[in-house]
Amino acid sequence: MDNFTFGVTMMVCGMGGTILTLWVLSLIMSLLGKAFPEKKEEK
Amino acid sequence: MEHAILGGLQGLTNGFLNLDWRTLVMLFLGCVLLWLGIKKGCEPLLLVPIGFGCILVNVPLSEVMGEEGFLRTIYNMGVANELFPLLIFIGIGAMTDFGPLLANPSTFLLGAAGQFGIFFTLAFALALGFPQLDAVAIGIIGACDGPTAIYVTAKYAPHLLGAVSVAAYSYMSLVPVIQPPIMKLLTTDRERKIIMPSMTGTVSKTTKLLFPLVITVIGGVIAPQGLPLLGTIMLGNLMRESGVVGRLTKASENEIANVVTLFLGLAIGGTMAGEAFLRAQTLIILCLGLFAICLDTVCGVCFGKLMKIFTGGKINPLIGAAGISAFPMSARVVQREGQRYNKKSYLLMHAMGANAGGQVGSVIAAAVMLSVLNGMGII
C-alpha cells in the first residue's frame, strides 16, 4: 500500500473510529448514569 | 611473566581505548536525563532509570545489553513482549478516579479530540519518508501516554523505542510549558473568562462498577487489537471501585507499578546505545513528538470551542486542552490558566473530566489504530 493511501486511511478511520467509539461510550455511560442514579444511602 | 602482566594491564585500558565520540555524547545525554529527573523533577520515576540505563549501555565494552546481559534479560522479560506497559496500566487504572468523567460523559469527546495529534503526526512522519510502522510509533507519542507509546513501539518499531519513550516522557512533563501559549493563542479573552457551573451531578457506585466493564467489552469489540491496553487499565479501575480487593489495588498502584517502572526505565535506557540512537532521525522524532503534543492541544481547544457553540456558551474552551492523557497535570494547567483570566472561574473538576476522558481516549485511539492496521493487513 502506498504511503498516501495509508496516511489518509489512518487519519479517516483512526480519528473517525476514535471519536465514534468514545461517543458511543459516552452515550452508554449517560444512559447507565440515568438508569442507576446515586441512592440516598450512597450520598 | 612480563607478558602476563602487560596483558593484564591492557585489560584495564581496553575501555579507554574503545571510547569514541558517540560514547561520550551518550554518556552526557544519560547525565542530562538524570539531571532533568533529579534537579528539575521531570518525570523522575522514569527519567532516572532511563538515564542510568543509558549510561550503563554506553560504557565502552559494556555487555549489559549483550545476549546474557542483565538489561537484555529485563528487556526480554517485559518490554519485548509488552508485559511491563500493561502491568503499569493496571496501576494507572487503580489510581485514576473516573468520577468527574462519568458525571459529565460528554467530556469523553474532548478526550477523543485530544488524540487527533496522533493521526496528523503519523501523516506528517509518512510525508517525511518514515516507513509506515515507524510513522505509527512516532504518531503514538501524541497519545501523551508513556505506557501506550511503549506498548505500540515495542511491538511494531522496537528500534525506535529509546527515542519515542524519551520524547513521550519528556514532553509529558513539559505539558505546563507547552499548553498555555497554545491555549491563549486559540481562545479569545471572553472565552477564557467563561465561568462553568460547578458540577452537581454525582455518580452511583453501580455506574462506577459498570464503567470498566462497558469500556472493556464495547471498546474490545470495536478494537480487539487494543484489548490488552483497555483490559488492564479497566481491571485496575474495577479493583479500585469494587473496594473489595484493597490489597490488590494497593499492590497494583504501589509495589507492582514501582518495580515495573524501575525495570521499564532501565530496559528503555538499555536501548539507547550510541550507534542506534545518535542519528538524524532521533532528532526528527523528538521534533515530531513535540509537534504531536502541540496538535493534541490545538485539536482539544478547537473542539472545546465547538462544544461552546453547541451548548450556547456554557463550555469554557480551555477545558479542551485537558483532553490529553497527561493526568492530572493537564487539568491543573487548565485550572491555573482559567484562574489567571478570571479569579471566579473554577474549571478543575470539568478539566479533570476531560483529562480522564483523555486517559481513556489515548487507549481507545491506540486500540483503534492497531485494529485499523490489522484490518488493512499491515500488522
Distances (CA, A) of B212 to B82, B246, B293, B318: 22, 17, 27, 28
pLDDT score, position B1: 84
Q: Which of residues 62-121 of B touch A (CB under 8 A)?
A: 102-103, 105-109, 111-113, 115-116, 118-120
Task: Please state, in angstroms and rounded to a whole number, the distance separating the CA atoms of residues B334 and B338.
Answer: 6
Half-sphere exposure of B55 (CA within 13 A, CB side): 12
B228-238 average pLDDT score: 96
| B6, pLDDT greater than 70 | yes
pLDDT score, position A42: 65
Task: Please state, in angstroms and rounded to a whole number, the distance separating the CA atoms of residues B61 and B39.
Answer: 30
CA angle at B288 for the pair B272 and B39, rounded to the nearest 5°: 55
Confidence of residue B296 (pLDDT cuts 50, 70, 90): very high
pLDDT score, position A38: 82
Binary contact (A11, B119; C-beta < 8 A): yes
Count, residues in chain A: 43
Residue-averaged pLDDT of chain B? 93
To test the contact with chain B by mutation, choose from A22, A31, A42 the residue with the greatest count of B C-beta atoms within 10 A, namely A22
Binary contact (A10, B219; C-beta < 8 A): no
- If you measure CA to CA, which chain B residue comes closest to A2? B132
Task: Please state, in angstroms and rounded to a whole number, the distance separating the CA atoms of residues A16 and B275.
Answer: 39
Task: Please state, in angstroms and rounded to a whole number, the distance separating the CA atoms of residues A42 and A21.
Answer: 30
Confidence of residue B42 (pLDDT cuts 50, 70, 90): confident
B24-42 average pLDDT score: 93
Binary contact (B112, A9; C-beta < 8 A): no
Contacts of A30 in chain B (CB under 8 A): 105-106
pLDDT score, position A16: 95
Cell triple for residue B293?
A: 503534543
B203-225 average pLDDT score: 94
- If you measure CA to CA, which chain A residue comes closest to B370? A14
Task: Please state, in angstroms and rounded to a whole number, the distance separating the CA atoms of residues B19 and A39.
Answer: 69
Helical ranges in chain A per DSSP H? 3-35
Task: Please state, in angstroms and rounded to a whole number, the distance separating the CA atoms of residues B91 and B251.
Answer: 8
Q: Are B325 and B143 in contact (CB under 8 A)?
A: yes
Tell me the per-residue pLDDT of A1-43, one tens digit each, with 9 for 90 and over. Answer: 899 999 999 999 999 999 999 999 999 999 999 999 887 766 5
Confidence of residue B199 (pLDDT cuts 50, 70, 90): confident
Confidence of residue B112 (pLDDT cuts 50, 70, 90): very high
Q: Are B278 and B166 in contact (CB under 8 A)?
A: no
Which of B202 and B153 is assigned the larger pLDDT? B153
B201 touches A at CB < 8 Å: yes
Percent of chain B with pLDDT over 90: 85
**Cα of B198 vs its chain's centroid, Å:** 30
pLDDT score, position A39: 77
Q: Which of B322, B318, B332 is nearest to B356 (CA)?
A: B322
Place of cell 519513550: B165
| B204, pLDDT greater than 70 | yes
Cell triple for residue B264?
A: 521499564
Beta strands in B58-186 (DSSP E): none
pLDDT score, position B276: 87
- If you measure CA to CA, which chain B residue comes closest to A42? B204
Tell me the per-residue pLDDT of B351-363, one tens digit each, with 9 for 90 and over. Answer: 999 999 999 999 9
Binary contact (A13, B203; C-beta < 8 A): no
Q: Cβ contacts of residue B118 below 8 Å, gap of 6+?
A: A14, B139, B140, B141, B142, B143, B292, B296, B365, B369
Tell me the per-residue pLDDT of B150-192, one tens digit each, with 9 for 90 and over. Answer: 999 999 999 999 999 989 988 888 899 999 999 999 999 999 9
Q: Which long-range contacts (CB under 8 A, 24 or more apart) does B30-33 make?
A: B30/B54, B30/B55, B30/B58, B30/B269, B30/B272, B31/B55, B33/B166, B33/B269
pLDDT score, position A43: 59
Contacts of B132 in chain A (CB under 8 A): 1, 3, 6
Tell me whether residue B217 is exposed, middle or buried, using C-beta atoms within 10 angstroms of its C-beta: 0 to 12, 13 to 18, 19 or more: middle
Tell me the per-residue pLDDT of B303-330, one tens digit each, with 9 for 90 and over. Answer: 999 999 999 999 999 999 999 988 889 9
B59-85 average pLDDT score: 93
pLDDT score, position B346: 93
Q: Are B142 and B115 in contact (CB under 8 A)?
A: yes
Binary contact (A14, B364; C-beta < 8 A): no
Binary contact (B378, A33; C-beta < 8 A): no
Tell me the per-residue pLDDT of B256-266, one tens digit each, with 9 for 90 and over. Answer: 999 999 999 99
Percent of chain B with pLDDT over 70: 99
Peptide bond into B328 cis (omega under 30): yes
| B198, pLDDT greater than 90 | no
User: For the stretch B80-89, what's the b/e string if a residue is b when 16 or more beta carbons lie within 10 angstroms of its beta carbon?
Assistant: bebbbbbbbb
Q: Are B332 and B324 in contact (CB under 8 A)?
A: no
Place of cell 542530562: B32
Task: Please state, in angstroms and rounded to a whole number, the distance separating the CA atoms of residues B88 and B94.
Answer: 10
**Cα of B132 vs its chain's centroid, Å:** 21
